[in-house]
Amino acid sequence: MITLAAIGAFALIVGLLTLTPGLDTALILRTAALGRRRRAWGVVLGIQSGTLVWGVLTSLGVTALLTASHLAYETLRWAGAAYLVGMGGRLLWATWRHSSSESPQTAGAGGEAKAGTGAGDSLIGGWRQGIATHLLNPKRGAFCVAVLPQFIPAGASHLAPGVVLTGVHLLLGVVWACALIAFARVFRDRPQRPSVRRYLDRITGTVIAAFGIRLGLRLGLGLGQ
């Protein structure tokens, strides 16, 4: 049976990982700051669904097989890189397109109408975005394979302790997401301005695309060696 000391040590490591700024933080903050509360919670649910999938697959030994298979792991990494670059590119393209086609009158009148909980404020849409981003991030699978088994007692079944540790990971992720959404709501008035929304989307799109480009460059350098 897994011990409380092991759970505490795992929670410390996962807590530090959760607090480290990354794709999840950028997605939650951007969505919540735009006033899309339902979609923001959908992103949170999607991310945690991805965490649950990675945790259960690791407990069953599936992710170990994935990382052992060079072709399967590289395919996942390329798919993740392409998805991140595409998502970031779409965000950046949308901001430049809206910026060039928006007149001063429409910027003041129509921008605020679209910024609330109307178009795009979908729980299911946020869930799809969150889980796709999480599952296509190979670092999550590699982290689970490297860390999760270290806290499971030798000779014990991996499934039950693995699910318990994954539950700890889920709990910490939800607590941090609540803090991010609350923080974004404090400043929710400013992002309603079209110019601020464009800058926010440009920052988020750049961060997401940069993650994908960096992953792609590492893959390219690895193939060239």
Per-residue tens of pLDDT for the chain, all 225 residues: 778 888 999 999 899 888 887 788 888 988 888 878 899 999 999 999 999 998 888 888 776 666 666 666 677 667 767 877 887 787 788 777 766 555 444 333 344 334 333 446 789 999 999 998 888 877 777 777 778 888 887 776 778 888 999 999 999 999 999 999 998 887 665 555 666 667 777 777 787 778 778 767 765 655 544
Residue 158 phi, psi (nearest 5): -80, -25
The residue type of 220 is: G
Per-residue model confidence (pLDDT) at position 224? 46
Distance (Å, rounded) from C-alpha 64 to C-alpha 61?
5
Token look-up 């792991």 returns 73
Distance (Å, rounded) from C-alpha 68 to C-alpha 57?
14
Q: What is the DSSP letter of 35?
A: T
Q: How many CA atoms lie within 13 A of 147 on its CB side?
A: 20
Is residue 30 within 8 A of residue 187, CB to CB? The reply is no
Token pair for 39: 């979609």
Is residue 173 within 8 A of residue 2, CB to CB? The reply is no
The residue count for the chain = 225
Is residue 39 within 8 A of residue 31, CB to CB? The reply is yes
Token pair for 176: 């941090």
pTM of the complete model = 0.70
Per-residue model confidence (pLDDT) at position 106? 37
Q: Is the dihedral of CA 101, 123, 20, 186 positive or negative?
A: positive
The residue type of 200 is: L
Per-residue model confidence (pLDDT) at position 105? 40
Q: How is the chain split into domains, by residue range?
A: 4-15+24-102+121-217
